[in-house]
Amino acid sequence: MIHGLPILLTGLLAGLLVSPAWSENTWRVVSDRPNEVVSIDLASLQRNAGRVDFREQRRKRDEQLHPGSQRPVRAILSRRAFDCERRRMATLSRAVFTDDDALIEHQAVRPQQAAWQALPRDEPAFRLVCGRS
């Protein structure tokens, strides 16, 4: 047991050093619906003129199956951009996860190749990200 003690102590110390980062919850819920919870990582907001990039997480509550793998979709983590001046959005990257955080799909585009589309009037993140309704 003495031989495993340094490894155990090292693991405990590493956990204590990392835990303050875990306790700083920077995710803000912007929509809580019966089928999903949508959150924005406030620490990820990057502003550049009228554009804001940020991370968004969608936690699924329903039994939606991924079309390619037929596995249940549990979460979708995206890097999105809002053009606050023109009220439009683009998805820069999107990762789909199933049980036990297993990645089942990932897509990414360069910002200059992003497909912009109009923001829906009821987009819950717009006010938080852009600062107005």
Domain membership flag for residue 18: no
Question: Over its length of 133 residues, how does the chain's per-residue pLDDT go in tens digits?
Answer: 445 444 444 444 444 344 344 446 899 999 999 999 999 999 999 998 889 999 999 999 988 889 888 899 999 999 999 999 999 999 999 999 998 889 999 999 998 899 999 998 888 899 889 886 5
How many domains are contained in the chain?
Answer: 1
Q: What is the pTM of this model?
A: 0.76
3 state DSSP class of 43: strand
CATH of the domain at 107: 2.40.128.710
- 19 located within any domain: no
- Decide if 82 is inside a domain: yes
Separation of alpha carbons 53 and 76, rounded Å: 16
Question: What pLDDT is attached to residue 124?
Answer: 84
The pLDDT of residue 91 is: 96
Q: Is residue 85, in this structure, part of any structural domain at all?
A: yes
Amino acid at 86: R
Domain holding 50, by residue range, is 29-130
The answer to whether residue 87 is domain-embedded is yes
Q: Closest Cα partner for 73 from 90, 58, 56? A: 58
Give a yes or no: residue 71 inside a domain: yes
